[in-house]
């Protein structure tokens, strides 16, 4: 089984390395968002999804696969799964959606005009080592990535799709995550034809950094379960 991983806002190909070390029989690939190398970035969310779709298609090579996405990556994962079915008639066996409620047409995220406001947001969400935040070079790069990703997210057209994805879905979240109410996730179930389950983890928005082994074991255990 292969797993295609979609990073969160500001994330990179290394974002899920903490999970990868616990997988022995899973071939994984973390999507490499265009522009992370400092070169040309995607102009909008649709273009980013198209680039991720191409990476996913080349990676799976007609084998069975699942997709995991956290936070912004949850929406990327959903859109890639949708396009894999719509274009290639090859939906994932399962989609793991993490830390985000179902998208709504009025979706909007604050883009933060000042570094101070964005820093407050980072501290509120957690998931970033304070030692890294004290590194001026790292912080400058991270803030630029976040602003770019938030801008892309505000171009996301989440209007109702013409079909449901023929897959199962598991929604994962941290019980201390205060960025939204867990009851707002139920609309995800309307986007698939298969089963919909929820799983609660200890920790906040970035719960998988608090307990990476349990998260990795849960994903691996549920790859084939109905």
Which carries the bigger pLDDT value, residue 57 or residue 40? Answer: 57
118: CB partners within 8 A, 6+ apart? 112, 143, 146, 147
pTM, rounded to two decimals: 0.90
Q: Residue 146 has what pLDDT?
A: 84
| Token pair for 127 | 């998931």
Backbone angles phi and psi of 202, in degrees to 5: -70, 150
Q: Residue 178 has what pLDDT?
A: 77
pLDDT tens digits, one per residue of 157-182: 887 788 999 999 999 999 888 777 76
Cα torsion 29, 164, 184, 157: sign: positive
Residue 218 near residue 226 (C-beta atoms within 8 A): no
């Amino acid at each position: 089984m292969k797993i295609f991983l979609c990073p969160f806002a500001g994330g990179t190909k290394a974002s899920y390395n903490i999970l990868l070390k616990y997988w022995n029989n899973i071939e994984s690939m973390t999507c490499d968002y265009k522009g992370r190398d400092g070169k040309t970035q995607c102009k909008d969310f649709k273009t980013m999804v198209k680039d991720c779709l191409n990476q996913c298609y080349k990676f799976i090579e007609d084998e069975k696969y699942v997709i995991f996405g956290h936070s912004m990556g949850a929406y990327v994962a959903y859109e890639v799964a949708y396009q894999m079915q719509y274009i290639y008639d090859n939906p994932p066996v399962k989609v793991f959606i993490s830390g985000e409620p179902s998208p709504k047409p009025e979706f909007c995220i604050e883009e933060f005009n000042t570094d101070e406001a964005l820093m407050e947001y980072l501290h509120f969400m957690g998931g970033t080592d304070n030692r890294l935040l004290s590194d001026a070079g790292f912080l400058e790069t991270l803030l630029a990535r976040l602003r770019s990703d938030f801008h892309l997210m505000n171009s996301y057209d989440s209007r109702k799709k013409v079909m449901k994805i023929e897959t199962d879905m598991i929604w994962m979240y941290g019980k201390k995550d205060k960025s939204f109410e867990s009851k707002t996730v139920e609309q995800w179930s309307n986007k698939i034809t298969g089963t919909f389950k929820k799983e609660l983890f200890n920790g906040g928005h970035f719960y998988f950094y608090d307990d990476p082994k349990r998260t990795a074991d849960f994903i691996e255990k549920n790859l084939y379960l109905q």
